[in-house]
Structure 1
Amino acid sequence: MKGRTIALDHLNGAEAAALIVDGRLEDLVVDTDAPRPGTIYRGIAERPVKGQGGMFLRTPDGSAYLRQIKGLSPGQPLLVQVTGFAEPGKAIPVTTRMLFKSRYAIVTPEAPGLNISRRIKDDDMRDRLLEIAHETMTGEAGLILRSSCSGADPDAIAEDIDSMVQLSAQVLADGGDTAETLLEGDGPHALAWREWTEAADLDTAEGSFERHGVLDMLDALRSPVVALAGGGSMAIEPTRALVAVDINTGGDTSPAAGLKANMAALRDLPRQLRLRGLGGQVLVDPAPAPKRDRKQMEQVLRAALKQDATETVIAGWTQLGLIELQRKRERVPLHEVLA
């Protein structure tokens, strides 16, 4: 089925959103009991971690860990924002550099200045956006206008900016001294509206996942093995320490079998990690291929990661010929959500 579809539904009673492009599942967000990224707390500093330059904070949802602690002392209240999901048994990762995100605008209280997405190339459009921003912005906070502003209604953009400016001012004006949740992060349905901004058919009626085949696609994601074009396969298996990815050529015995399997796997790897909610250290064991093919494989992987919103760093090749990645933990692993 051609085209883009956004399905908003529930899985096991939890809010969920799916993005389907040309009949293939491109993204999936499922709500959990864990604190959502974007949540803002008034936290209370508890104890520093000597040698690591960090400090544990008390929040309504448990212990949080902050890396930047210069000038911070135990017992001091401060505003922090959740940056990702914590691994089991670990503290919630937080930062003091808060972002207030919406569909068109991101307000950055700690980073003054006005920036427009580089994806907007049209000079006239950029000039119009600058005018809207200058007319709407108040205070000293910074502003980022997102690529979704291209072709959007100017009034909607101005309203979005104003809403985020007011929200940031309200939160930053907090003067309390006890641990409290000041702002909940966006749930899956709000995230779909905020992040999946390209034109798409929207299905919000109950049962949309079943109508669009999302449930069958989820069943396929329960398996660690991903079939690749040409007969190869890729196995993605999370462990406590890292995510192991093994690429195999299958029944293809041609001289270029390794390169073909690796290229197909690396093109699809960011999508598979995104759908499975996997992050942290990722080690990829490519199918056998000459060293001269490594540059080409890296180019394919970089191009695929460029289309993925999750921050991922290619650390390089290990001495054993593995590709090492470091990926931000932005979601709870799917196998935990579906358990």
Structure 2
Amino acid sequence: MKQLIVSCEAASLQAALLEDRKLVEHEAQHPSETQRAGSIYIGRVVNVLPGMQAAFVDIGLDKNAFLYIDDVLPVNMQKQPKTKPPIGDLLQPGQRVLVQVVKEPEGSKGARVTTHYSIPGRWLVYMPGAGYTAVSRKIEAEEEKVRLKQVADNLRCGEEGLILRTVSEGRSEEELRRDLLDLRELWTVIEQRAEAGAAPACIYQDLELLPRLARDVITEDVLEIWVDDEAVHAELQGLLRQRSPELAARVRLDGGDTPLFERFGIAEELSRSQRRKMWLPSGGYLVIDPTEALTVIDVNTGRFTGTSSLEQTVFRTNMEAAAEIPRLLRLRNLRGIIIVDFIDMEQSAHRDRVLECMAEAVKKDRSKTILLGWTKLGLLEITRKRK
């Protein structure tokens, strides 16, 4: 069972998603913070770096954004040159360029930007100029994939690109058409702002937390939605009523004395989940070390000594870790390259079971997560899309 808990306290808004009463996702919106990822800017090229095939772009933030040549070349593969030209042939200092943030500024690094624009809707992702259609890999029924692709191919015009999101499964052609029309209209507005605006300037921002929850998180399998603020309750109901009165009816206003995050154990779990050392049910534990380049997760037996054999002790610990790690990837929003050092297993069948457990668990992740498999050193390689 999925539950969404939305709490408003001291002008900050927080949302927590629970699956079978376990916390799996957490988002917060503070008045002093602005989400940059997904936003589109009119930028100005500051300098071009031939040796790196990249450029720095002023988009109006404290640090200049970084633009790779791969993000400048046409997104449509058929229009890309056979060999990459020098970055200086494409960009010049002082040039205006429309870019979208794909990675937030972090530490000493500025944002990473692209000219491959994508705008998410309720059922679709709209990509002007991409020239192809694609269907979410999480939709498993082959017949439904074929149907959705045919619908998208019929709907898209010219060089438009469309991705059918996982939630588009079972949606009618008319629902998809309405979503596409809204996205086309939005892109037209963005183009008009880009033409009239001065650089640097932000001309489009992705939705704030509540509309984003209504668009991306609240689906038919979210059975309970609890809110502790009357204004937030009314706004969320209004957002959902536009497309699904049934979902709007699930939004409940909490009038209890105990704060929602305490009543559902969210506050305690948030604190526990950020620790470097995370205990597993049997007594084993994980050590999570994020670095600038990648995140390393080490699995240990800890206090667990088992009952029958070393292989069974190791296997049980690894299976518990395989179930817990995907949840922590979502909850802590760990992204990029992730390396998991499971305890060595002698039996290949046990390694296969651990990998299957991980693969099943990452299906629930809204961010694209890929299990690349075991390295020669017995490490599991994972990539998780930055968002």
Flag whether TM exceeds 0.5 (same fold).
yes
**Counterpart check, 1:178 vs 2:231:** no
Whether the 8 Å CA contact 1:85–1:329 is kept in 2: the answer is no
Q: Residue in 1 aligned with 2:68? A: 67
TM-score for both structures, normalised by structure 1: 0.83
Whether the 8 Å CA contact 1:138–1:165 is kept in 2: the answer is no
Q: CA deviation at 1:265?
A: 0.8
Question: Unpaired runs of 5+ in structure 2?
Answer: 73-86, 230-258
Q: Residue in 2 aligned with 1:218? A: 270
Match of 1:301 among 344, 358, 362: 358
CA deviation vs aligned residue, 1:161-220 (integer Å, no higher than 9, x gap): 211111012213421341110111233323322222243222233354344332222122
Report the residue type matching 2:118 in the other structure.
L
CA distance 1:171–1:219, shift in 2 (3 Å): same
**Counterpart check, 1:228 vs 2:247:** no
Report the residue type matching 1:195 in the other structure.
D
Q: CA deviation at 1:128?
A: 8.2
Match of 2:210 among 189, 203, 207: 189
Q: CA deviation at 1:66?
A: 1.0
**Counterpart check, 1:251 vs 2:304:** yes
CA deviation vs aligned residue, 1:145-173 (integer Å, no higher than 9, x gap): 32323345765543322111110122134
Higher relative contact order (CA 8 A, sep 6+): 1
2-side partners of 1:128 and 1:266: how far apart? 33
**Counterpart check, 1:203 vs 2:256:** no
1-side partners of 2:149 and 2:161: how far apart? 15
CA distance 1:243–1:133, shift in 2 (3 Å): closer
Q: Residue in 1 aligned with 2:120? A: 101
CA deviation vs aligned residue, 1:37-95 (integer Å, no higher than 9, x gap): 21111111111233221111101223111112441111111111111223211010111
Question: Unpaired runs of 5+ in structure 1?
Answer: 331-339
Whether the 8 Å CA contact 1:44–1:76 is kept in 2: the answer is yes
Whether the 8 Å CA contact 1:262–1:297 is kept in 2: the answer is yes
2-side partners of 1:84 and 1:13: how far apart? 26
Q: CA deviation at 1:131?
A: 5.5
Specify the SS of the correspondent of 2:180.
Answer: helix
Q: CA deviation at 1:9?
A: 2.5
Q: CA deviation at 1:320?
A: 4.9
Q: Residue in 2 aligned with 1:335? A: none
Whether the 8 Å CA contact 1:35–1:82 is kept in 2: the answer is no
Match of 1:90 among 87, 104, 109: 109
**Counterpart check, 1:121 vs 2:141:** yes
Match of 1:9 among 4, 7, 10: 7
CA distance 1:89–1:234, shift in 2 (3 Å): same
Report the residue type matching 2:141 in the other structure.
K
Q: Residue in 2 aligned with 1:279? A: 335
Report the residue type matching 2:103 in the other structure.
G
Whether the 8 Å CA contact 1:48–1:55 is kept in 2: the answer is yes
Q: Which moved more, 1:169-178 or 1:85-94?
A: 169-178
Q: Residue in 2 aligned with 1:325? A: 382
Whether the 8 Å CA contact 1:100–1:108 is kept in 2: the answer is yes
Whether the 8 Å CA contact 2:322–2:358 is kept in 1: the answer is yes
1-side partners of 2:145 and 2:92: how far apart? 47
Specify the SS of the correspondent of 2:358.
Answer: helix
> Who wins on radius of gyration, i.e. which is larger?
2
2-side partners of 1:296 and 1:127: how far apart? 33
Whether the 8 Å CA contact 1:46–1:55 is kept in 2: the answer is yes
2-side partners of 1:17 and 1:84: how far apart? 22
1-side partners of 2:378 and 2:327: how far apart? 23
Identity %: 28
Report the residue type matching 1:73 in the other structure.
Q
Specify the SS of the correspondent of 1:83.
Answer: strand
Q: CA deviation at 1:238?
A: 2.4
1-side partners of 2:118 and 2:2: how far apart? 28
2-side partners of 1:287 and 1:127: how far apart? 44
CA deviation vs aligned residue, 1:201-245 (integer Å, no higher than 9, x gap): 222333543443322221222322323233322122324454231
1-side partners of 2:341 and 2:143: how far apart? 44
Q: Residue in 1 aligned with 2:186? A: 167
2-side partners of 1:125 and 1:287: how far apart? 38
Match of 1:290 among 346, 349, 359: 346
Whether the 8 Å CA contact 2:135–2:148 is kept in 1: the answer is no
**Counterpart check, 1:26 vs 2:24:** yes
Whether the 8 Å CA contact 1:15–1:187 is kept in 2: the answer is no
Q: CA deviation at 1:314?
A: 4.4
Report the residue type matching 1:58 in the other structure.
D
Whether the 8 Å CA contact 1:258–1:288 is kept in 2: the answer is yes
Aligned-pair RMSD on alpha carbons? 3.0
How many residues align? The count is: 327
Whether the 8 Å CA contact 2:54–2:67 is kept in 1: the answer is yes
